Amino acid sequence: MENNAKTTLVLGANGKTGSRVTKKMEALKLSVRRGSRTAEPKFDWEDKSTWENALEGISSVYITFQPDLAVEGSEESIAAFVKQAAKAGVQKLVLLSGRGEPEAQRCEQIVIDSGLKWTIVRASWFSQNFSESYFLEPIQAGYVALPVAEVKEPFVDADDIADVVVASLIEEGHDFKCYEVTGPRLLTFKEAIAEIAQATNRTIQYVDLPLNVYTAQLREYQVPEEIIGLISYLFTEVLDGRNAYTVHGIEEALGRKPKDFTEYVKETLASNVWVLEQSDGRDAAFETGNCPG
């Protein structure tokens, strides 16, 4: 039963970080309201009429925005939601943001200027994009084609992000702080795929495609134009080397080191999620997720 005096609304409760935050808080016997289009009360970013009921009696909110804070209209949505949250009596906001995205940082500023307590969690690309969405089907098929070559990324584990979020929601000392969170080392996408291939004892072909060829293939497989635009932005603007360095936000927030990509791979092996599909991989190679997080 919800204790509405101290109930946290977790937006994107079915997502990679939202689901983990929800489970961790429920395991601590804390009151959580799941924010999703399938929850009751329902929450839908595209339907503002659902926001009031979802916010009723809520003391804190974990905000994740779909598909990404970099998309057109995100600032307006975040501003409207923050205003409604303040009106509803919410006291604390924790925002999941992205590294190297000016649009995301403008959304951060909206939260900072809200007059409420806040924490920003600014994350690099998730390790779980290789196992829960985005790159899963190409890996299963043994053929990964992407428009990135030697750019390095400090992939961060979604469990580490969730731990930072939960600490920010329930512990003292995290208000009015921005935690930039990364994994402990840099990897290219090709190197990450190679680690998965070695751990699974499989051959996974990695192909570096020009962006125009990649986006043409996405259109061939009828990926929506707004998603193609987001992917193009991420691969040209965000993955241009600007984020090719590690930081210590996880250590600052939790007092421990972040999980290494190799540890993530070993843990994920137990799920058998990277089993080989009966496909040559070329169709799966162009399936996309909605966002890097």
For residues 132 and 227, what is the distance between their CA atoms, to the nearest angstrom?
Answer: 18
What band does 281 get if pLDDT is binned at 50, 70 and 90? very low
What number of residues does the chain have?
293
Of the two residues 181 and 292, the one the predictor is more confident about is: 181
For residues 187 and 261, what is the distance between their CA atoms, to the nearest angstrom?
Answer: 9
DSSP SS3 for 249: helix
Question: Tell me, what CATH number does 98's domain have?
Answer: 3.40.50.720
CA angle 243, 111, 182 (to 5 degrees): 25
The reply to whether 119 falls in a domain is: yes
Pairing status of strand 187-188 against strand 152-153: antiparallel
Tokens 């609304």 -> residue:
9
* Mean pLDDT over the full length of the chain: 91
The reply to whether 37 falls in a domain is: yes
CA distances from 123 to 162, 206, 279 (A): 11, 25, 33
What band does 5 get if pLDDT is binned at 50, 70 and 90? low
Of the two residues 293 and 98, the one the predictor is more confident about is: 98
The reply to whether 115 falls in a domain is: yes
Q: pTM of the prediction?
A: 0.91
The reply to whether 206 falls in a domain is: no
pLDDT attached to residue 72: 86
Quote the domain boundaries for residue 121: 4-126+157-181
For residues 236 and 230, what is the distance between their CA atoms, to the nearest angstrom?
Answer: 10
Q: Pseudo-torsion of CA 131, 134, 136, 142, nearest 10°?
A: -140
What band does 197 get if pLDDT is binned at 50, 70 and 90? very high
Residue 208 makes CB contacts below 8 A (sequence gap 6+) with 145, 146, 147, 148, 149, 190
- Of 124-138, 179-193, 251-265, the least confident: 124-138
Domain count, the chain: 1
| pLDDT tops 60 at residue 284 | no
The reply to whether 215 falls in a domain is: no
Q: What is the pLDDT of residues 234-277, one digit of tens each?
A: 888 888 899 999 999 999 999 999 999 999 999 999 999 998 64
Could you write out the DSSP letters of every residue in 215-240?
HHHHHHTT--HHHHHHHHHIIIIITS
- Of 33-42, 88-97, 209-218, 254-263, the least confident: 209-218
The reply to whether 63 falls in a domain is: yes
Q: What percent of the chain has pLDDT over 90?
A: 78
| pLDDT tops 70 at residue 47 | yes
The reply to whether 65 falls in a domain is: yes
176: alpha, beta or left? (left if phi > 0; alpha if psi -120 to 50): left
Q: What is the pLDDT of residues 70-118, one digit of tens each?
A: 888 999 999 999 999 999 999 999 999 999 899 999 999 999 999 999 9
Q: Pseudo-torsion of CA 166, 37, 182, 27, nearest 10°?
A: 30
Of the two residues 222 and 178, the one the predictor is more confident about is: 178
Which amino acid, 48?
Answer: K
What band does 225 get if pLDDT is binned at 50, 70 and 90? confident
DSSP SS3 for 22: helix
